[in-house]
Amino acid sequence: MTGTGIGGRNLEFVLSIAEALANDGGGGRPATGISMAAASIGTDGIDGSSGVAGAMADSSTMARAALAGLAAPADYLAANNSFAFFAPLDDLVRLGRTHTNVGDLQVIVIHEA
């Protein structure tokens, strides 16, 4: 990490997925009739410097980000400031400290309509 922003590996992972969804097929849809959702959380409840466990994104994330006037995901990733991207969208996963540290949990759901 070289930026001075707030975030962690789980937030950056999900932001990278959101960016890829938007760049692959447009509108957050990787292919016609398919929608996706992804989440990544730290089981200890804290991801990096963020104070949250992680984040979630779906096929609507980038459209909602545009409506909120957010910059491109690449800008947040370059500054290691993924928290600032997800906070206005209310897409953060807040657990508080769980007093466990099993590892990270990533879930991706693909729905074909």
- Domains of the chain, start order: 9-112 (3.40.1480.10)
The dihedrals phi and psi of 41, each to the nearest 5 degrees, come to -135, 150
Task: Identify the band that residue 92 occupies on the pLDDT scale cut at 50, 70 and 90.
Answer: very high
Tell the burial category of 95 from Cβ atoms under 10 Å away from its Cβ (0-12, 13-18, 19+). Answer: middle
Task: Identify the band that residue 97 occupies on the pLDDT scale cut at 50, 70 and 90.
Answer: confident
**Separation of first and last alpha carbons in the chain:** 38
Edge-to-edge strands, sheet with 34-42: 92-93, 54-58, 34-42, 104-112
User: For residues 84 and 110, which has the higher predicted lDDT (pLDDT)?
Assistant: 84
Q: How far is CA 24 from CA 18, 20, 30, 74, 86, in A?
A: 10, 6, 5, 15, 20
pTM of the model: 0.84
24-63 pLDDT, tens digit each = 655 544 555 678 899 999 887 777 777 888 999 998 899 9
